[in-house]
């Protein structure tokens, strides 16, 4: 019996029970929230368990994770969660999903270290089973053999996966790039991909994030050369902001700073955590006496200071944003400082980043950021690198993963151009189930899926109806009408007391006087013997307020009548 039989009961009678089923519950059709389910017979593995950050309309929501309701009925068959690397869009949902499944989690040493830190923050570490694997190692069950293959990404110790099942061999690229001159000794294992291609690969799942970019991605060593130039030119303090997970680049910046006679201070909780993890597990090999505490930079001349800080996406309370607003307790941005944005601008953050750039520029700093300076290289493969992967692996079938729909579609077209038959390559989206068997690759149906919204400590407490109310509040405001009514006589003994929020200025006495008059008249029109019907009284008050604001201000506020029984 398969996932879809249990959840939706739609599996066709002629479906092959010996097929490998693939079910994406996140990451196909959006950037982030990656979660892919593989099922063969009575065994299930999950690849990655990520989050995505909220869209602008998700007011008050902190993060978004996949809805795994489809898995809860079959959780006893889940053999583990396999992680490709330690980015939040691949591991960030684990603190919320792992307690529901209680299965082993497999990943490289850095990935597991980063997972451990997050689980510890949620008091879940003691109850979690975390298993460290290395590239070249294999985990095996009755129906699955999963091999870990080294790949280069913007975070160390990323892996691709070669998954062997009775239905065929599947290669999952993870997030990767082909970098022949990386900063670390890690390289994408092209030889292993070629060997797999020669042995026969039935299905390739490959990252589509950068399919729009022609050619090859730039090597991280080129970023190092650019930073060496920035340090040669900089005469004042240098402040660098980047993703906290870009550990190879952080280490290289520290090394270059040491060569140029600068001390380095780290500012930002996520940067501190990640650099501490990297030092604990031996990834960092830092020059001695280069790192200093942020409070010690004031004792040094500007030309001897380099600060690595959070805030590359314009986050309101990040280290860089506090500097821009003059509220940082550690340093004030001044003329002569050089500020380097060493990351891509994530879509949706452009306005916040633009405002941050403007504020920093007003303070007299020199700002370096794409496209006016070369400060960043992507960790995702460009189109020619993806073509190289296809040519090495030579898959019979192909499914593009990791990307918005246009990315998946472009990758599909590339695969067909490279020789994958038209009926052997297709685009899937979240919730669709595919099956790989001896007759090929087929979409066999749909499984219920969705997004779970995390608001503070609330998991799933916020739904889209609540978001609708929040958007309504943000654009139309709220009116609360409080009335005290004697239960036996029906007389109004308190109020009406009217409060508005986000609707009109408190000092607008004319509108408030008219509103009190409209509400008072509506109350007086209700016969005394009918005022004990609180539902009717609330409806009358709601209609009176709604009519007033619609006719006077063309507004539709949320109206909250409150009746106090006295």
Q: What's residue 312's pLDDT?
A: 92
Q: Are 165 and 284 in a shared domain? A: no
Q: Establish if 347 belongs to a structural domain.
A: yes
Residue with tokens 């016969």: 527
Q: What's residue 55's pLDDT?
A: 62
**Mean pLDDT computed over 496-524:** 81
Q: Establish if 467 belongs to a structural domain.
A: no
Q: Establish if 468 belongs to a structural domain.
A: no
C-alpha closest to that of 129 among 78, 179, 172: 78
Q: Establish if 316 belongs to a structural domain.
A: yes
Measured in whole angstroms, the distance separating CA 360 from the mean position of its chain's CA atoms is: 27
Measured in whole angstroms, the distance separating CA 157 from the mean position of its chain's CA atoms is: 20
Q: State pTM to two decimals.
A: 0.82
Q: Establish if 144 belongs to a structural domain.
A: yes
Q: What residues make up the domain containing 537?
A: 477-565
**Rounded Cα gap, residues 525 and 387, in angstroms:** 76
- pLDDT score of 105 more than 80: yes
Q: Establish if 472 belongs to a structural domain.
A: no
Provide the pLDDT confidence category of residue 498 given band limits of 50, 70 and 90. confident
- pLDDT score of 525 more than 90: no
Q: What's residue 59's pLDDT?
A: 52
Q: Are 203 and 276 in a shared domain? A: no
**Mean pLDDT computed over 513-541:** 85
CATH of the domain at 543: 3.10.20.580
Q: List strand residue ranges (DSSP E) for 521-557, in order.
A: none
Q: Which residues are bridge partners to 309 per DSSP?
A: 241, 267
pLDDT tens-digit readout, 286-323: 888 999 999 999 999 999 999 999 999 988 889 999 99
- pLDDT score of 470 more than 80: no
Q: Which residue in 380, 390, 407, 411 is the catalytic one? A: 380
- pLDDT score of 325 more than 70: yes
Q: Which residues are bridge partners to 306 per DSSP?
A: 238, 264
Provide the pLDDT confidence category of residue 464 given band limits of 50, 70 and 90. low
Instruction: Provide the number of structural domains found in the chain.
Output: 3
Q: What's residue 13's pLDDT?
A: 45
Provide the pLDDT confidence category of residue 467 given band limits of 50, 70 and 90. low
Which residue has better confidence, 14 or 39? 39
**Rounded Cα gap, residues 472 and 290, in angstroms:** 52
pLDDT tens-digit readout, 60-81: 567 889 999 999 999 999 999 9
**Mean pLDDT computed over 247-252:** 95
List of residues 6+ apart from 539 with CB closer than 8 A: none
List of residues 6+ apart from 217 with CB closer than 8 A: 177, 178, 179, 210, 377, 378, 379, 380, 381, 382, 385
Percentage with pLDDT > 90 across the chain:
66
- pLDDT score of 410 more than 90: yes
Q: What's residue 1's pLDDT?
A: 42
Domain-terminating residue out of 368, 392, 427: 368
Helix (H) / strand (E) element for 192: namely helix 190-199
Among 275-279, 349-353, 405-409, 553-557, name the one with the lowest average pLDDT.
Answer: 553-557
Q: Are 247 and 160 in a shared domain? A: no
Provide the pLDDT confidence category of residue 12 given band limits of 50, 70 and 90. very low
Q: Which residue in 207, 337, 430, 437 is the catalytic one? A: 207
**Mean pLDDT computed over 87-102:** 96
Mean of the per-residue pLDDT values of the chain: 89
**Mean pLDDT computed over 362-381:** 94
Catalytic status, residue 380: yes
Helix (H) / strand (E) element for 441: namely strand 440-446
Helix (H) / strand (E) element for 225: namely helix 220-233
Q: What's residue 554's pLDDT?
A: 81
Q: Are 86 and 206 in a shared domain? A: yes
Q: Establish if 470 belongs to a structural domain.
A: no
Q: Are 270 and 403 in a shared domain? A: no
pLDDT tens-digit readout, 208-234: 999 999 999 999 999 999 999 999 988
List of residues 6+ apart from 466 with CB closer than 8 A: none
- pLDDT score of 236 more than 60: yes
**Rounded Cα gap, residues 287 and 281, in angstroms:** 17
Q: Are 166 and 235 in a shared domain? A: no
**Mean pLDDT computed over 390-411:** 97
Let me know: does 61 contact 460? Beta carbons within 8 Å.
no
Q: Establish if 109 belongs to a structural domain.
A: yes
């Amino acid at each position: 019996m398969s996932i879809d039989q249990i959840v939706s009961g739609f599996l066709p009678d002629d479906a092959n029970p010996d097929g490998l089923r693939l079910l994406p519950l996140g990451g196909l059709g959006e950037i982030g929230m990656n979660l892919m389910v593989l099922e063969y017979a009575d065994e299930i593995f999950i690849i990655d368990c990520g989050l995505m950050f909220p869209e602008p309309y998700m007011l008050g929501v902190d993060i978004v994770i996949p809805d795994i309701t489809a898995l809860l009925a079959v959780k006893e068959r889940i053999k583990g969660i396999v992680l490709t690397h330690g980015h939040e869009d691949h591991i960030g949902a684990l603190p919320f999903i792992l307690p529901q499944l209680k299965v082993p989690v497999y990943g490289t040493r850095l990935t597991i270290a980063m997972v451990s830190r997050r689980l510890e923050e949620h008091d879940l570490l003691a109850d979690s089973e975390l298993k460290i694997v290395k590239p070249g190692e294999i985990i095996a069950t009755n129906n699955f053999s999963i091999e870990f293959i080294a790949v280069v990404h913007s975070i160390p110790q990323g892996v691709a996966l070669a998954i062997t099942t009775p239905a065929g061999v599947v290669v999952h690229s993870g997030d990767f790039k082909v970098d022949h001159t990386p900063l670390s000794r890690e390289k994408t294992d092209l030889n292993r991909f070629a060997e797999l291609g020669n042995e026969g690969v039935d299905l390739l799942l490959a990252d589509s994030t950068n399919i729009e970019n022609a050619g090859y991605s730039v090597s991280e060593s080129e970023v190092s050369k650019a930073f060496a130039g920035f340090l040669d030119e900089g005469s004042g303090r240098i402040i660098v902001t980047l993703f906290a997970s870009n550990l190879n680049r952080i280490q290289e910046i520290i090394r270059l700073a040491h060569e140029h006679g600068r001390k380095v201070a780290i500012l930002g909780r996520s940067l501190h955590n990640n650099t501490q993890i990297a030092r604990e597990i031996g990834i960092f090999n830092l020059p001695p006496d280069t790192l200093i505490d942020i409070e010690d930079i004031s004792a040094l001349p500007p030309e001897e200071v380099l600060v690595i800080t959070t805030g590359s996406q314009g986050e309101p309370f990040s280290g860089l944003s506090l500097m821009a607003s003059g509220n940082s307790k550690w340093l004030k941005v001044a003329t002569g400082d050089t500020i380097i944005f060493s990351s891509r601008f994530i879509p949706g953050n452009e306005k916040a980043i633009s405002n941050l750039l403007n504020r920093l520029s007003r303070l007299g700093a020199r700002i370096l950021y794409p496209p006016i300076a070369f400060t960043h290289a992507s960790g995702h493969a460009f189109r020619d690198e993806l073509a190289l992967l296809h040519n090495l692996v030579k898959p019979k079938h192909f499914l593009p993963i990791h990307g918005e729909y246009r990315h998946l579609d472009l990758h599909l077209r590339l695969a067909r151009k490279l020789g994958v038959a038209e009926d052997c390559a297709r685009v899937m989206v979240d919730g669709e189930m595919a099956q790989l068997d001896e007759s090929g690759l087929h979409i066999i149906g749909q499984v219920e899926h969705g997004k779970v919204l995390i608001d503070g400590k609330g998991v799933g407490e916020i739904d889209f109806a609540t978001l609708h109310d929040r958007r309504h509040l943000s654009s139309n405001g709220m009116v609360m009408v409080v009335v005290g009514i004697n239960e036996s006589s029906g007389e109004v003994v308190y109020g009406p007391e009217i409060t508005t929020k986000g609707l009109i200025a408190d000092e607008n006495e004319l509108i408030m006087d008219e509103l009190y008059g409209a509400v008072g008249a509506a109350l007086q029109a209700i016969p005394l013997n009918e005022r004990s019907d609180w539902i009717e009284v609330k409806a009358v008050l709601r209609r009176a307020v709604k009519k007033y604001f619609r006719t006077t201000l063309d507004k539709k506020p949320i109206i909250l009548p409150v009746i106090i029984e006295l």
